[in-house]
């Protein structure tokens, strides 16, 4: 199990990301637009830099839904490798079975 504080930190980052998502998109459009002037572009870049760091989507970390483990995460299942193995052994994942030879 991951530390509760780490899981809570990730949830806080997710809330901050969703709160500032529209503002980030708006500022990035101004920066990318060829029609915007250099002053507007510079102002938009400065406002984007002044947003909280946790508002950036790249700061998010995928975590297992069961254990909170950040490594060995399978995006398709939302589980870490060891939880995926246990769920497959119990037959809880449709269409997935452990290989044997």
Q: What is the pLDDT of residue 48?
A: 95
Q: Do 50 and 10 belong to one domain?
A: yes
Report how far apart the first and last C-alpha atoms of the chain are (Å, whole number). 31
What pLDDT shows up at residue 11? Answer: 93
pTM of the model: 0.76
Per-residue pLDDT tens for 36-45?
Answer: 999 999 999 9
- Per-chain mean pLDDT for the chain: 93
CATH number at residue 94: 4.10.830.10
26 and 57 share one domain: yes
Number of H helices, E strands in the chain: 3, 2
Range of the domain at 16: 1-61
Domain match, 32 and 51 both: yes
Sign of CA dihedral 84, 81, 95, 98: negative
Shared domain for 52 and 71, answered yes or no, is no
CATH of the domain at 43: 1.10.287.1480
Judge if 27 and 76 occupy the same domain: no
Residues 93 and 87 sit within 8 Å (Cβ to Cβ): yes
* pLDDT band, residue 99 (cuts 50/70/90): confident
């Amino acid at each position: 199990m991951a530390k509760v504080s780490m899981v809570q930190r990730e949830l806080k980052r997710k809330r901050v990301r969703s709160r500032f998502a529209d503002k980030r998109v708006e500022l990035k459009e101004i920066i990318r637009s060829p029609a915007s002037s250099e002053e507007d572009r510079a102002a938009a870049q400065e406002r984007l830099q002044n947003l909280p760091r946790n508002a950036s989507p790249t700061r998010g970390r995928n975590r297992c839904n069961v254990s909170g483990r950040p490594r060995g995460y399978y995006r398709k299942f939302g589980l870490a490798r060891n939880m995926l193995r246990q769920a497959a052994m119990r037959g809880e994942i449709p269409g997935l079975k452990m290989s044997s030879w």
